Amino acid sequence: MSLLSRLKNSRIGSSIQYHIKPRKVKFEWQDTPIDWIPNQAFVSYFINEINMILPAGEFWFCRLYNKVLPQISDEKLAEDVRAFIRQEAMHAQAHSSANKEYLTVRNIQVQRNLDVMDYVFTQLLADQPLGYTVPKPLEKQWDLFRLGIIATVEHMTCVLGKYVLYNTYWEELGADPSMLDLVKWHGAEEIEHRSVAFDLYRHLGGGYISRYYQSVIVIGLVLGLWVDGAANILNQDPRFKENKAAVYKPWIWLEWYNISQQDNRLMPSPLWLISQQLGYLMPWYDPVHEAKTEDALAYLDRSPAAKRALPKVA
């Protein structure tokens, strides 16, 4: 049997030797400024946009995973998926709290961006896309396609999680502790559960060739939505009124690229993000090699938001 055939027909269970731990967190936003990285307004807005991008997608992850959970025949993988669902739900709640308790009270209008994300995940990628019923023979393939999208996104979030976990430069610049903790806590949990989506996708029949077109879709969707949303909140700040940023205008893309080229510790380059997707396309790709679980767990053990929630859990 050829390598391609083996990849296509592989059915695996969990590849994780540890137990994923869902955690409650509590963030306090009263002292967080809009420019949460001092003197870096563009970068602060750009990273803030993740608070609007993520909740709808993460709740969508949870809904789809709950739907396919009965199809999982490997007990450890089913355990991993349930833990993944709980972590993703907490991520969505944490970023929603930033939208409500941090950005909105500082007069940043977030609803337009949230509506865009809701449309993507409750309409385009819904069980009934745009209200159309998927024919019965195609239901499994539609679910598998969406599971592949999640696996591809999770590779990207693992890459970004590794970037923020090991990045000490924002802290050196005096970044706000709450926002810094949010991105590092989230990044660390992305590393902790980095294998789950890929394991589930292959367990339910996901093939190798599909990773190519799924990667093209995810890269275009993620970068486009990120820049579109960042442009909307940048335009609300008088400091950027001369640029009138938009996803279809060069300025915001060039500004992102130029800042990342000046110092890639301020923000990752869009070209770097695209290049990181190449590893996912290799036949021997394994998420376990993307980062170190021990480093992620070490941060999660000292996360202020996780510690703050402990008395509430008890």
Read out DSSP for 7-58?
A: HHH-------SS-----------TT--SSSSTT-HHHHHHHHTHHHHHHHHH
Whether the CA torsion 143, 14, 167, 107 is positive or negative: it is positive
Q: What is the chain's mean pLDDT, rounded?
A: 94
State the average pLDDT over residues 220-241: 97
Following CA atoms 258, 96, 91, 78 in sequence, which dihedral angle do they give, to the nearest 10 degrees?
-130
Q: Where are the domains of the chain?
A: 36-302
Whose CA is closest to 236, among 14, 1, 52?
Answer: 52
Instruction: Supply the pLDDT for residue 233.
Output: 98
Q: Residue 270 half-sphere exposure, CB side, CA atoms within 13 Å?
A: 18
Q: What is the pLDDT of residue 314?
A: 38
Other beta carbons less than 10 A from residue 213's beta carbon: 12
CA–CA dist 177, 260 (Å, integer): 22
Q: Residue 127 has which token pair? A: 């069980």
Three-class secondary structure of residue 294 per DSSP: helix
Please report the pLDDT score of residue 311 as a whole number: 54
pLDDT digits (tens, 9 = 90+) for 6-60: 444 445 899 999 999 999 999 999 999 999 999 999 999 999 999 999 999 999 9
User: What is the percent of the chain where pLDDT is above 90?
Assistant: 93
pLDDT band at 4 (very low <50, low <70, confident <90, very high): very low
Q: According to the model, what pLDDT value does residue 11 have?
A: 56
Residue 120 to residues 53, 129, 221, 229, Cα–Cα distance (Å): 10, 10, 10, 13
Please give the CATH topology (third level) of the domain spanning 36-302. Answer: Ribonucleotide Reductase, subunit A (1.10.620)
Element (H, E) at 78: helix 75-98
pLDDT at 193 over 90: yes
CA distance 210 to 205: 11
